[in-house]
């Protein structure tokens, strides 16, 4: 018997290798906003909410909103198509579904953005619910996203695990009193994840599946 009834998955860096599109759109956004992207470590922004990332470079809230708009426009046209599932993701989702484990997403991407991406990659059908951030700033943190997914009636009293690759995933899970598992094939380091004492760290999808299933 599996230890968990349901699993919440981060998307970027956990299910999808999406950094090429994200980094390209980040660079173009900073360029259009008057910043030199070559002087910025864009990899830091693989995971955190957009407003949080852009807000590190300006106190001008109007400029931050403009940058969010630029990024989303660029991402819609090009970036969202520059991704692919990590090796083993499809087999993992198949195995978990066959075991009766419910699966959800909990991503900092807006639901309206992540849904067509998962559909394009053939993954949307595995999830009971695709949870993501709001378009505005009302619910864009990972904590807010996880909390919204957990509010679904069918999850009341269920054993739920959060899986992700960055500290935002670990922090969000802790804030919602959920156990969290970290994946080491994504965009975060072992040190970044281990600091939050996840229930386990998985090197690949096969190991992640075994840990969830306790095989």
Per-position DSSP letters for 65-120, written without gaps between them: HHHHHHHHHHHHHTGGGS-EEPTTHHHHHHHHHHTT-EEEEEEEEEHHHHHHHHHH
Phi, psi of 48 (to 5 degrees): -65, 160
- Residue-wise pLDDT tens digits, 127-153: 999 999 988 777 779 999 999 999 999
Single out the residue of 49, 86, 38 nearest to residue 71, CA to CA: 49
| Other CB atoms within 10 Å distance of the CB of residue 203 | 11
Which tens digit of pLDDT belongs to each residue from 93-108?
A: 999 999 999 999 999 9
Tell whether the model's pLDDT for residue 215 goes beyond 70: no
pLDDT for the residue numbered 135: 81
- Model confidence over 26-61: pLDDT tens digits? 999 999 999 999 999 999 999 888 999 999 999 999
pLDDT at 176 over 70: yes
pLDDT at res. 1: 66
Nearest CA among 102, 127, 98 for reference residue 114: 127
Check whether 65 has a pLDDT greater than 90: yes
> What's this model's pTM, rounded to 2 decimal places?
0.89
Euclidean distance between CA atoms 130 and 149, whole angstroms? 9
**Phi and psi (nearest 5°) for 60?**
-80, 105
Strands 129-133 and 200-202: unpaired
Q: Is the pLDDT of residue 188 over 60?
A: yes
Q: Where are the beta strands (DSSP E) in the chain?
A: 6-9, 16-17, 84-85, 102-110, 129-133, 160-164, 180-183, 200-202
Q: Report helix, strand or coil for 123.
A: coil
């Amino acid at each position: 018997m599996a230890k968990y009834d349901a699993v919440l998955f981060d998307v970027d860096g956990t299910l999808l290798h999406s950094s090429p599109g994200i980094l390209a759109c980040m660079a173009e956004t900073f360029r259009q906003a008057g910043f030199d992207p070559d002087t910025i470590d864009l990899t830091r922004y693989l995971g955190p909410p957009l407003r949080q990332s852009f807000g590190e470079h300006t106190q001008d809230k109007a400029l931050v909103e403009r940058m969010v708009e630029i990024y989303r426009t660029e991402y819609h046209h090009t970036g969202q198509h520059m991704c692919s599932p990590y090796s083993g993701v499809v087999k993992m989702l198949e195995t978990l579904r066959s075991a009766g484990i419910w699966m959800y997403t909990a991503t900092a991407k807006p639901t309206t953005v992540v849904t067509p991406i998962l559909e394009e990659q053939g993954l949307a059908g595995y999830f009971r619910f695709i949870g993501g951030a709001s378009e505005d700033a009302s619910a864009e943190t990972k904590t807010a996203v996880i909390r919204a997914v957990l509010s679904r009636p069918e999850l009341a009293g269920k054993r739920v695990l959060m899986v992700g690759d960055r500290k935002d995933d670990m922090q969000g899970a802790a804030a919602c009193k959920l156990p969290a598992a970290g994946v080491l094939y994504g965009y975060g380091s072992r040190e970044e994840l281990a600091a939050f004492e996840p229930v386990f760290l998985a090197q690949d999808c096969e190991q992640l599946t075994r840990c969830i299933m306790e095989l």
